[in-house]
């Protein structure tokens, strides 16, 4: 087997940036000429995060092959610029689901099915699947979700413990990310939480090879020595992961520490020197903008920024491409109506309505869109945002006062957005009843689909391509019965399914920049290559701001 494995565990507490650390290490190894993939193992019982409230779990990231995954996969794609797939994320729920299905089929031939070996074997199978085939990467980084000490994480840790012996010590590396707090009153870094966390890991039989210490400031040599001594690692295998204001600086900081070099040496990787020019340019460009734009994001999950992770990043990428800083103003749509829109959006150079589910806050989104359309403020609607733009246009321009989405008004006379069942036939569920609510898992149109772009439109000016692939996550869709009436009033359908059966992009030509898309372009935006629609939206906002 050519692939070498790096297992990343976390200790002390969550939110230390394990995903970003894994992605940054992967990016550095890539610049050294290695091929890299990353997999996230999530210990929760949900089969995937698709049914989880964004307040709980943050964004659901969608891959080309239609998997609903952990938001860390977004970081992996943004840092590695390689598409992830359903192979790159699994959960306890998915593992158990699989094992239980096998048990019901009788595949275990009468054996008692247990966590060890059946669950752990299934985990190992998922991990090793990354190393299969001709395209197996040089390095597979496996990030274990949660914190060492969590009961639910134990089968994953046991699986990686076993893998170390099975694939050989030379082919695996354990990296443990911990917190090393700086106590201001004592004036020093504290290593005790790290010692405890490593002790916990050792009690499970895992000896970390590298300790990565999340800290406010770089950890002094004597502290590193102490951590090395108490955690049985080499002195030069203790690294700092310092707080940064720009997440794209992390690879450069790791490089300065010599982190990737140590990894390459320990795993005997055929690595060349790192090439960091593109990362340096990225950090330089984002640190030196020539102006600023303010973008309002009008949504429901405004208190938890993680819920709009990819969107946030895509807007930042659009800013970098246009050399402007992007200030994001999160607006709770429940607080917006026609009477206060002018004051709520005062000083905004662009308004964005993102994806979402359910009726709560929808009328506020529609009011925000009306304001953007009438006041000629650049507008970008994504998924639900596009659907709301269609409803707004139908109500206020085409005179269909009761226009709505079937999601919000199932009995309404003018369902300009409606539930399409076309993709249900391959997802099979609820076909007869047309009821998407009985089993919320697995009833959506998910993953990448082709979209044909109409020439002479803003969409075409952005993409400069006749056909694109974009990722979807929705149940409802533009109702084709309204194409003619809305088209006659000036709405342009600039992106459709190649057979013209579905409207994927709408826009208004009589406006500085007003575009809505049924797909989620934010998933495909990259720091070094902003998504064309985000680049053009920010460009329009920049013109609006006179920046």
C-alpha span between 476 and 448 (Å, rounded): 16
Work out which of 193, 357, 397, 442 binds ligand GLN, going by CB under 6 A: 357
Burial (0-12, 13-18, 19+ Cβ within 10 Å), 171? middle
Segment 392 to 421, residues that bind ligand GLN, using CB under 6 A: 407
Work out which of 474, 511, 524, 531 binds ligand GLN, going by CB under 6 A: 474
Work out which of 32, 475, 511, 539 binds ligand GLN, going by CB under 6 A: 475
* Complex with ligand GLN: residue 173 or 383, whichever CB lies closer: 383
CA of residue 170 relative to chain centroid, distance:
32
Q: Which of 158, 407, 477, 522 is catalytic?
A: 522
* Complex with ligand GLN: residue 311 or 540, whichever CB lies closer: 311
Q: Does 353 bind ligand GLN (CB under 6 A)?
A: no
C-alpha span between 385 and 365 (Å, rounded): 8
* Complex with ligand GLN: residue 177 or 307, whichever CB lies closer: 307
Active site residue 520: yes
Q: Which of 189, 317, 371, 520 is catalytic?
A: 520
Q: What is the nearest approach in angstroms of ligand GLN to the Cβ of residue 357?
A: 4
Whether a cis peptide bond, with omega within 30° of 0, leads into 117 is: yes
C-alpha span between 317 and 330 (Å, rounded): 18
Q: Does 251 bind ligand GLN (CB under 6 A)?
A: no
Q: Quick check: 99 and 113 in contact, CB under 8 A?
A: yes
* Complex with ligand GLN: residue 156 or 519, whichever CB lies closer: 519
Would you tell me the crossing angle of helices 277-287 and 250-257 to the nearest 10 degrees?
130
Piece of the chain touching ligand GLN by CB under 6 A; list 1-9, 196-204, 332-340, 472-480: 472-480
Q: Quick check: 198 and 178 in contact, CB under 8 A?
A: yes
* Complex with ligand GLN: residue 27 or 502, whichever CB lies closer: 502
Q: Does 54 bind ligand GLN (CB under 6 A)?
A: no
Instruction: Supply the DSSP symbol for 4.
Output: E
Three-class HEC string of 62-103: ECCCCCEECCHHHHHHHHHCCCCCHHHEEEHHHHHHHHHHHH
C-alpha span between 530 and 524 (Å, rounded): 8
Q: Does 355 bind ligand GLN (CB under 6 A)?
A: yes
Hey, what are 520's tokens?
A: 């989620």
Q: Quick check: 210 and 233 in contact, CB under 8 A?
A: yes
Q: What is the nearest approach in angstroms of ligand GLN to the Cβ of residue 436?
A: 8
Active site residue 185: no
C-alpha closest to that of 453 among 441, 465, 470:
465
Handedness of CA 109, 115, 118, 119 (dihedral sign): positive
* Complex with ligand GLN: residue 189 or 474, whichever CB lies closer: 474
Piece of the chain touching ligand GLN by CB under 6 A; list 144-152, 256-264, 338-346, 352-360: 352-360
C-alpha closest to that of 325 among 293, 349, 352, 279:
293
Piece of the chain touching ligand GLN by CB under 6 A; list 164-172, 261-269, 355-363, 392-400: 355-363
Q: Does 384 bind ligand GLN (CB under 6 A)?
A: yes
C-alpha closest to that of 207 among 157, 171, 241, 167:
157
Q: Which of 215, 231, 348, 383 is catalytic?
A: 383
Q: Quick check: 485 and 500 in contact, CB under 8 A?
A: no
Work out which of 476, 493, 519, 523 binds ligand GLN, going by CB under 6 A: 476
Beta-bridged to residue 415, according to DSSP, are: 404
C-alpha span between 301 and 60 (Å, rounded): 13
Q: Does 279 bind ligand GLN (CB under 6 A)?
A: no
Segment 70 to 89, residues that bind ligand GLN, using CB under 6 A: none
Instruction: Supply the DSSP symbol for 349.
Output: S
Residue nearest to ligand GLN (CB): 355
Active site residue 451: no
Q: Does 356 bind ligand GLN (CB under 6 A)?
A: yes
Work out which of 473, 511, 524, 542 binds ligand GLN, going by CB under 6 A: 473
* Complex with ligand GLN: residue 38 or 352, whichever CB lies closer: 352
Task: List residues with catalytic annotation.
Answer: 383, 520, 522
Residues that bind ligand GLN (CB under 6 A): 355-357, 383-384, 407, 473-476
């Amino acid at each position: 087997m050519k692939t070498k494995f790096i297992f990343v565990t976390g200790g002390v507490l969550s939110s230390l940036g394990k995903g970003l650390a894994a992605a940054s290490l992967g990016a550095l190894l890539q610049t050294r000429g290695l091929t890299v993939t990353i997999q996230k193992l999530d210990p929760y019982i949900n089969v995937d995060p698709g049914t989880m409230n964004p307040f709980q779990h943050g964004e659901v990231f969608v891959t080309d092959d239609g998997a609903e995954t952990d938001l860390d996969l977004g970081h992996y794609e943004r840092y590695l610029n390689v598409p992830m797939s359903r192979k790159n994320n699994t959960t306890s729920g998915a593992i158990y689901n699989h094992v239980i299905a096998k048990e019901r089929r009788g595949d275990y031939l009468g054996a008692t099915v247990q966590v060890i070996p059946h669950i752990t074997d299934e985990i190992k199978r998922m991990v090793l699947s990354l190393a299969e085939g001709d395209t197996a990467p040089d390095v597979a980084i496996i990030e274990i979700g949660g914190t060492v000490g969590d009961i639910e994480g134990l089968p994953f840790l046991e699986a990686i413990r076993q893998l170390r012996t099975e694939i050989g010590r030379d082919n695996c590396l354990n990296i443990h990310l911990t917190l090393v707090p700086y106590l201001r009153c004592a004036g020093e870094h504290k290593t005790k939480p790290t010692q405890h966390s490593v002790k916990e890991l050792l009690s499970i039989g895992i000896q970390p090879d590298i300790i990565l210490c999340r800290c406010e400031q770089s950890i002094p040599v004597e502290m590193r020595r102490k951590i090395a001594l108490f955690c049985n690692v080499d002195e030069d295998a203790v690294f700092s992961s310092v707080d940064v204001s720009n997440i794209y600086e992390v690879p450069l900081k790791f490089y300065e520490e010599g982190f990737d070099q140590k990894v390459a040496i320990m795993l005997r990787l055929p690595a060349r020197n790192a090439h960091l020019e593109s990362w340096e340019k990225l950090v330089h460009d984002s640190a030196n903008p020539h102006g600023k734009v303010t973008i309002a994001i009008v949504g429901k999950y405004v208190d938890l920024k993680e819920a709009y992770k990819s969107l946030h990043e895509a807007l930042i990428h659009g800013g970098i491409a246009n050399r402007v800083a992007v200030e994001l103003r999160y607006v709770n749509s429940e607080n917006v109506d026609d009477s206060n829109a002018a004051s709520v959006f005062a000083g905004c150079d662009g308004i964005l309505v993102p994806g979402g589910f359910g009726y709560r806050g929808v009328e506020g989104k529609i009011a925000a869109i009306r304001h953007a359309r009438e006041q000629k403020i650049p507008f970008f609607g994504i998924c639900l945002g596009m659907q709301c733009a269609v409803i707004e246009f139908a109500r206020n321009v085409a005179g269909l006062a009761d226009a709505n989405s079937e999601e919000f008004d199932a009995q309404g006379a003018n369902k300009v957005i409606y539930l399409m069942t076309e993709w249900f036939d391959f997802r099979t569920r609820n076909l007869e009843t047309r009821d998407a609510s009985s089993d919320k898992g697995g009833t959506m149109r998910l993953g990448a689909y082709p979209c044909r772009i109409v020439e002479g439109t803003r969409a075409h000016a952005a993409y400069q391509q006749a056909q694109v692939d974009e990722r979807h996550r929705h149940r409802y869709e533009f109702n084709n019965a309204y194409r003619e009436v809305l088209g006659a009033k000036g709405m342009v359908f600039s992106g459709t399914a190649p057979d013209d059966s579905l409207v994927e992009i709408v826009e208004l030509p009589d406006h500085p920049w007003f575009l809505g898309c049924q797909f989620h372009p934010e998933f495909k935006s990259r720091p070094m290559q902003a998504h064309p629609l985000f680049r053009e939206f920010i460009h329009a906002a920049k013109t609006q701001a006179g920046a």
